[in-house]
Amino acid sequence: MNELIQTIQHSLLGWVSQAIELLPALVFVLIVLLITRYSVKLVKRLIKLSSERLVHSISLQLLLVQISSVTVWVIGILIACTVVFPSLRLGDIIGLLGLSSVAVGFAFQDIFKNFLAGILLLMNEPFRVGDQVIINDYEGTVESITIRSTQLHTYQDEQIVIPNAIVFTNPVHVLTRYPSRRTDLGIGLGYDTPLLKAREVLFDALTQVEGVLPSPPAEIDITDFGESAINFNIHYWTLPKKAQVRRTQTQVIIALKQACDQAGFNIPFPIRMLYLSDQSLTETRSIKHGSNDRAL
């Protein structure tokens, strides 16, 4: 029993002595990591300031900042490893990385895919920070592009974080890529409407709406004979932001309705013709409420 107690005491004393021997190295490692953390902030700030002067692309500026922070962290961790393991050399680290690359690749393949996709997105710039985009079922403003993910700020003030691998391998609808954006709006006028005059009235009302761009010029097409009206298709351009498109469309609808009322143009309800068994003709107008029809 005494021998067992002595063995345990010797083991504990050995562990304590080893811990005391490693304590300076551990303290130094902690200092190195703290210095690395503050160095990352300093390097990111310097790279950001210098890249803003030398590089015009915001995406490339973000890429340089993120790569610099990763590089500083890798250097700091390597220095800490050489302090804890003095016999560890650069060749040993390279060999260790080579042996473990297959296992790490399988374990972190999703992370590596997002990492590479993020670099390609930042370099190719299919969209920029501040653009309004649609990615899969998500729509919003690009808030930031990191090496791992892309963050969208939705119109409902929500944040969507999308892995870069998904962004890179799926179609991206960039709504604000060009300086103007077209809106298509349909309106139907009665069959007794003078078509040339109607086009002129609608065009004058449309071009006076604030928010409708003079270039490219607006267009009004007469598309087809509808069941109860002759259909017009109105095309006009606005600034590409979603809020501008939505507000201008509201003003355009108000202006077109007022112009039709002032000119005496009829915007008819849908008309249905019912033939009774005695072949007499009855004309009814129907207003649709959900799945029910009410005849007037």
CA pair distance 77, 168, nearest whole angstrom: 31
Q: What is the pLDDT of residue 281?
A: 47
CA pair distance 267, 269, nearest whole angstrom: 7
pLDDT at 95 over 70: no
Nearest to 197 by CA among 235, 230, 238: 230
Q: Could you tell me which CATH number the domain at 123-174 has?
A: 2.30.30.60
Q: Helix, strand, or coil here: 149? A: strand
What does 88-120 look like in DSSP terms, one character per residue?
--HHHHHHHHHHHHHHHHHHTHHHHHHHHHHHH
Mean pLDDT of the chain: 80
Strand order in the sheet with 219-225: 181-189, 230-238, 219-225
Roughly how many angstroms between the first and final C-alpha of the chain, as a whole number?
106
User: How far is residue 92 CA from its own chain's centroid?
Assistant: 43
Q: Could you read off the pLDDT of 210-266 as tens digits, one per residue? A: 999 999 999 999 999 988 899 999 999 999 999 999 999 999 999 999 999 999 999
pLDDT at 25 over 50: yes
Q: Please name the residues in contact with 283: beta carbons below 8 A apart, sequence gap of 6 or more.
A: 271, 273, 274
Residues of the chain with CATH 2.30.30.60: 123-174
Q: What is the pLDDT of residue 296?
A: 39
Nearest to 32 by CA among 65, 81, 71, 67: 81
pLDDT at 82 over 60: yes
Residues of the chain with CATH 3.30.70.100: 181-263
Q: Could you tell me which CATH number the domain at 181-263 has?
A: 3.30.70.100
Higher pLDDT, 13 or 123: 123
107-112: list long-range contacts, CB under 8 Å, 24+ apart: 110/163, 110/165, 111/148
Q: What is the pLDDT of residue 295?
A: 38
Q: What is the pLDDT of residue 88?
A: 60
pLDDT at 43 over 70: yes
Q: Please name the residues in contact with 55: beta carbons below 8 A apart, sequence gap of 6 or more.
A: 61, 64
Average pLDDT, stretch 117-126?
84
pLDDT at 270 over 50: yes
Confidence of residue 166 (pLDDT cuts 50, 70, 90): very high
Q: Could you read off the pLDDT of 167-212 as tens digits, one per residue? A: 999 999 999 999 999 999 999 999 999 999 999 999 999 999 999 9
CA pair distance 191, 198, nearest whole angstrom: 11
Tell me if 202 sits within 8 A of 234, measured CB to CB. yes
Please give the single-letter amino acid code of residue 210: E
Confidence of residue 45 (pLDDT cuts 50, 70, 90): confident
Query: What is the value of pTM for the model shown?
Result: 0.63
Higher pLDDT, 279 or 79: 79
pLDDT at 102 over 90: no
CA pair distance 296, 294, nearest whole angstrom: 7
Higher pLDDT, 77 or 256: 256
